[in-house]
Chain A
Amino acid sequence: MKILIADDNASDRLLLSKIISKQGHEVIEAENGKHAIDCYVKETPDIILMDVLMPELNGKEAAKEIKRIAGEDLVPIIFLTSLVDAQSLADCLEAGGDDFLTKPYNHIILKAKIDAFVRMRNMHATLQKQRDTIVENNQHMLHEQHVAKAVFDNVAHSGCLDASNIKYMLSPLAVFNGDVLLAARKPSGGMHVFLGDFTGHGLPAAIGAMPMAEIFYGMTAKGFALRDILREINLKLKSILPVGFFCCAAVVDLSFTKRNISMWMGGVPDCYLISDKGKTLKSLRSHHLPLGVLSSEQFDDEMTEHSMEDGDRLFMWSDGIVEARNEKGDMFGEDRLQGIFKQNLKPDDLFEAVQTNVGAFVGESERDDDTTLIELMMIEESDLDLSSLNMQQGTIKGPSDWKLDYELGVDSLKHFNPLPLLMHIMMEVPALRSMGGQLFTVVAELFSNAFEHGVLRLDSQLKSTPSGFAEYYQLRQQRLDELADGYVKVSMVHSSENGSSGIFTLTIEDSGSGFDFPTTFKKDQTQVKNKFSGRGIPLIFSLCHSLEYLGCGNKVRAEIHWPQKAAK
């Protein structure tokens, strides 16, 4: 150790210097307070032994200045004094000294004190070093999280959350959110919206959210049904998350044309459906276990349907809203939340009202969970911005001249839904992508006609009454179980002229006996308004450039041209 001795008495200084050198320390000597400060700055000694009374600057003043210069470094100062009264000794410590030593010096006590301060100094240095390491590591981690968050945001928020019928709030507790909001336009029109709340927050939650977002967006773009997407997500989470980690979720399939939503809720607080210009509130309750808890066999994908008129809104939130706490530790609670909706506010102001009320309630107290809120409104699909639908249209050139023949036999028809695959092939053509909804409807309707009326020989007339409707589906299941022979042939041809225009032709042929198409066609046209019945032919007709039945009516050919002419 390097030890500074400051004493104006040369003989005392020499005596002390001898003792300390013998104990194996390096000694620096100063003759007064001012000199002591200079020596401290120049030599940075580890411990200082300082006489109280000195010329130029006394010991107490010098000690104050040295402590100031040292800042957060620990420099023990031991005062040397011949005074023995309690007050004088106490004054030494008051002035910033760490200890005192009375003259004449006792070798044993001197050594013990120096040793004690050496230990304290080492401990202090270790603490400082550890603290600096922690600060450095923390900065490093925050930086990494920021980079990772940028990647995460690109994956999770690539959807259509900015669509004009959506309002949302995502407040991140950590850099990463335990809450996830996903929204995507379906190729068949409509939207899938997903609100998820992982147990915990930060890294574990974000890691689970990544594959979930990929599955959600990927499968939605390919035209998969929401039930299938949920199953896939549940399976994925079950396999990657450790036991005890899961994701509560409220998931919505919104149809603009059918004016309804299908919902699946697992482990989230009640959602509110506001209709009739804000006058009616319906609570929708969770009926499922959260995602990632049950195995595929046990998973229940049952969804509930609710109709929504223009301007009706669905509010969904994570438990962070209901469980937001104020300074006293009280929870915001469902009563307060419901209260907001009972104030007869204009529907347009509800979202902001929830935000403001929760914000005011929480005040300055620390948030202890993520708070996520989303409002989903029913509007005319044509009012939506088209850009969100075309986002995946890149500069990569897709296939333009191709033909596909695909024949499904009995077993495939029983167990396999070919629509996602067919959609996938069509969606590889960039120009067809923006027409995904229309194409999906055409393929889906014609395929189900071929399958149900052709292969299964079900009579579409059955569907004209509500009871017949039920019977139809019962019969459908029965014939499906008994099905022994039959086929559906799908043929798709696409051709393009310089990439500026193109024709897509779809031909579907079934093993059925066909139908008397001209008359049925007319009949259907008059029955357009009857929603229970028909083959949906008028609808398809309106979506295609041309539609014709061939053979005995067991074969149909639809042509779709692009770019599309203005609506007729």
Chain B
Amino acid sequence: MGVQSNVDTSGKELTIKVDGRFDFSAHQEFRDAYEGISTDINNYIVDLGNTSYLDSSALGMLLLLRDHAGGDNANITITRCNDDVKKILTISNFEQLFTIQ
């Protein structure tokens, strides 16, 4: 389990990468990944390429990120999901709130 984050050279885009199981145990790390980072960020990318599993508390964490990033005006892309992860996001109809690639 690990959460990494980095800001691109322009300072406006933040990428958060979650490895392994994305569940409640990642709660604090995930929050730390975007809280206290420069407020200039206007584009968020959540990279789930190495995420094996995602549960409902992870969905909750994504909603928290969305809230942090401006709610309805948030610009968040979820990328590289595997089929299982994508399915969970689809069942919950999260594509209505996030851009899912």
Contact = CB atoms under 8 A, between A and B. Distances in A.
B35 interface: no
A287 interface: yes
Contacts of A197: 56
Interface in B43-101: 55-57, 59-61, 63-64, 67, 72, 91-94, 96-97
A248 B96 contact: no
Interface in A456-477: none
B93 A287 contact: yes
Given A248-B56, A319-B56, A289 B93 contact: yes
A487 interface: no
Interface in B21-39: 24
Instruction: Tell me the dominant secondary structure on chain B's binding face.
Output: helix
A246 interface: yes
Given A243-B64, A246-B63, A293-B63, A199 B94 contact: no
Q: Give the interface size class of chain B.
A: 10 to 19
A48 B22 CA distance: 53
Contact of A244 (B60, B93, B96, B97): B60
B63 A244 contact: yes
Interface string A219-256: 00000000000000000000000011110100000000
Nearest to B61: A244
Given A243-B63, A243-B64, A246-B63, A199 B57 contact: yes
Interface residues of A, number: 23
A267 B56 CA distance: 10
A286 B91 contact: yes
B67 A289 contact: no
Contacts of B94: 289
A266 interface: yes
A484 to B, nearest CB: 37
Nearest to A368: B55
Given A243-B67, A289-B97, A248 B60 contact: no
Interface in A324-343: none
Which 8 residue pairs are nearest across A and B when measured between Cβ atoms?
A: A244-B60, A267-B92, A244-B64, A243-B67, A199-B56, A289-B93, A244-B63, A199-B60
9 contacts: A199-B57, A200-B57, A266-B92, A267-B91, A268-B91, A288-B93, A289-B93, A289-B96, A293-B97
Interface of B: 24, 55-57, 59-61, 63-64, 67, 72, 91-94, 96-97
Interface of A: 197, 199-200, 243-246, 248, 266-270, 285-290, 293, 298, 319, 323
